Chains A and B, each alone.
Chain A
Amino acid sequence: MTSGLQVVNARIDYDNVDLLRNVDIAVPPGRIVALLGPSGSGKSSLLRCIAGVQQLASGNIYWDDINVTALPAHKRRFGLVFQDALLFPHMNVARNISFGLRFTQATAAEKQQRVNELLELVGLQEFRDRRPDALSGGEAQRVALARALAPKPRLLCLDEPFGALDKDLRDRLVRDVRELLTHLGTPALHVTHDPDEARRLADDLLSINNQQIESA
């Protein structure tokens, strides 16, 4: 059958109030899927459920036809990027990026090399020793992206990652991220309320209407 991410008949609630019902989503290998919806519609909750940091009220999540619904977040290998970069303030850029590599078998040299690769990919080689508070919003978001990609996630979850940036910067970053993900072949689920941004980043568009998800 299909592989990649499959969300089947999921229900999302918040404080026992249903936000989304009958959710069926597929993100095939290498595809970027955007999910459009107004704030408060439950799209961020859905993303958190997929990442494994929140539980579905009911339904199932599959990766390559294996049920991962009960798998804790740290074993799913799904990356997550928030609207604010949330860089660890006590670490410099390089240590932020290598954070996820601490929990892998990689040797110090391999980690070093991976950090260098990612710094180059996001174009921030000269920022490796900077502290997060010395970065602009766009730079911080690039570091957050590099940090999420470092442990080679099977899927990238993007929770309005460009929402806090001004328009010019956002346009440039959207283009860069699309290039990057296509280049790496990493599938992604991108949640946003901006139809324009969704169209330019994603291969497929879904939207939330009346607590249901439909393709746009």
Chain B
Amino acid sequence: MRRLAPLLLAALPIIAVIALVAIPLVTLLSEGLRPSSWQVFSSGSTWRVLVYTVSQALVSTVLSVIIALPAAYALYRLRLPARRILLAIVTIPFVLPTVVVGLAFRELLPFAGTTAAIIVAHVFFNVGLVIRVVGSVWGQLDTRYAVVASCLGANRWQAFVHGSWPLLRPAVTAASMLVFLFTFTSFGVVLVVGDPALPTIEVEIYQRAVQRLDLDGAAALTIIQLVVVVVALAIATKLQQHLTVRGIITETAIRRGPHGLTDYAATAATFIVVVAIIIPLGSLVSASMRVRDSWGLTWYVEAISPSDTSTRATSAAEALLTSARYAVVATVIAVTLGVFAAIAVTLLRRGQASLDTVVTLPLGVSAVSIGLGLLLFSISGPIDLRGWWLLVPLGQAMVAMPIVVRIVLPVLRSIDPRLRDVAATLGASPFRAWVAVDGPLALRATAVSAGLACAVSLGEFGATAFLARADTPTVPVQIVRLLSRPGEANLGQAAALSVILIVVTAVIIGLAERARPRTSQPTATGGW
């Protein structure tokens, strides 16, 4: 039983990844890759798209990290007023639906429709991620290393460069890698604020598959994208192995009041970041309430019960209902699979790393590839699954599951296995011991991860764009549809729907956050 249980737990997520990611991907490649696909590889425009995609991702990543570092320092090392609130604000963008952020910046930026707008939106999205990943390590770095360095003659800057930075670098590398992956495969943002004449790979795949029905080309591009992702992940793994150092974390990190120019500069930078995050959200609210030359809730009313039903087949109320239904199902699937996988990883004697890699795999496959692959599979697979409603939440669950694993796994790993041994010597069976020791912590982490999975599902656009049926769009799909039509009414309603989606997302994340244990130990929720 002891050996069998982890294997049984591991089986379900592995089957899910194979059935919902691996097989569709293979289908996509085998369907799409024909001799004519080679044209795509030899075409100069393909490589221009690739270079453009990589460049914007690199610039977005570097800027996100540079802007996040001072804030990570201030928020995790200093005693700031309203620190929890500031931290919550910087986290908001990351859980926002991509098309909503795209729309916010389209309304705000005078230079919308350019590469610069994409980069600004990407930085907005990812700065909070870097702050949290780097900050959770920075907050626990043993401050005495800096003390040792300064007693050896290093000034503050030297103590940082030689003493703290090398210890922070693995976290910075990990965060950079995540930001690069997200911005390299970013879809909703690029579609809404980007230059239509300058597509990224992800947008190009979508346009070829959906608008030009050029599956060969889309499949070829998917391969190029996968290769870049795999290479990037390999580099990250290599860097991390080289840099990982043990024994740098203390349990008792103390935050102190700001002191000296550096601290005040970092604090100021933090407040600038917070304000910069609030402004686009404000612009979205103002766009949703600006009716011709005055203000009002017309667009909200219009969105919920459209007076002109001929142009908009679906009302916002219906889209919200559809989104909610999908989100509930997707969350249940993602959390079940993710938690099973996390438990199996901690209990397995062998193959822990392989299982971890398998369940993280969907994170490296872009959402568009997952969606397109599932769509093709549903058409050409052994059973005709076209239009099956469950495809949408299944696709969303594959996008959300790796996040669930990344949140729950560190919590389970942080539990001293000897506690289970103690429970066993006190007469608890392995199962009872697990329930008593791991259970309560796992439950909290599960609740936090369920909130995030639900937010991901509500805002998911890349996979959903392919899988949602035309007559039952989700909220993000409906927003993009409205945006593709001209006129103030469509824009206003898109903005109103965006605001509603933000509020719903915020409420869900807020509820999930209540489950987070109030300890200073960030490992308890994996840095989240």
Residues of A at the B interface (CB closer than 8 Å) are 48, 51-53, 72-80, 82, 86, 88-91, 99-100, 102-104, 132-133, 147-148, 150-151, 153, 157
Contact = CB atoms under 8 A, between A and B. Distances in A.
Number of chain B interface residues as a range = 20 to 34
Decide if the interface of chain A is mainly helix, strand, loop or mixed. Answer: mixed
Contact of B150 (A52, A82, A102, A157): A52
Contact of A53 (B150, B163, B246): B150
20 contacts: A48-B147, A51-B147, A51-B151, A73-B150, A74-B153, A74-B155, A74-B158, A75-B153, A76-B151, A78-B151, A79-B151, A82-B144, A88-B145, A88-B166, A89-B246, A90-B243, A102-B158, A103-B154, A147-B148, A151-B153
Nearest to B259: A55
Interface of B: 142, 144-145, 147-156, 158-159, 162-163, 166-167, 243, 245-248
Contacts of A102: 154, 158, 162
Contacts of A100: 152-154
Nearest to B165: A90
Given A88-B145, A89-B246, A133-B247, A80 B158 contact: no
Contact of A88 (B150, B153, B158, B163): B163
Contacts of B163: 88
A87 B250 CA distance: 14
B386 to A, nearest CB: 55
Given A133-B246, A133-B247, A86 B145 contact: yes
Nearest to B151: A80
Decide if the interface of chain B is mainly helix, strand, loop or mixed. Answer: helix
Which of A76, A89, A133 is packed against the most chain B CB atoms within 10 Å?
A: A89
Contacts, number: 81
A103 B151 contact: no
A147 B142 contact: no
A74 B148 contact: no
B156 to A, nearest CB: 8
Nearest to A82: B144
B151 A86 contact: no
Contact of B147 (A53, A75, A90, A150): A53
Contact of A103 (B144, B156, B158, B248): B158
Contacts of B142: 86
Which of B147, B148, B150, B159 is packed against the most chain A CB atoms within 10 Å?
A: B148
A72 B248 contact: no
Contacts of B245: 89-90
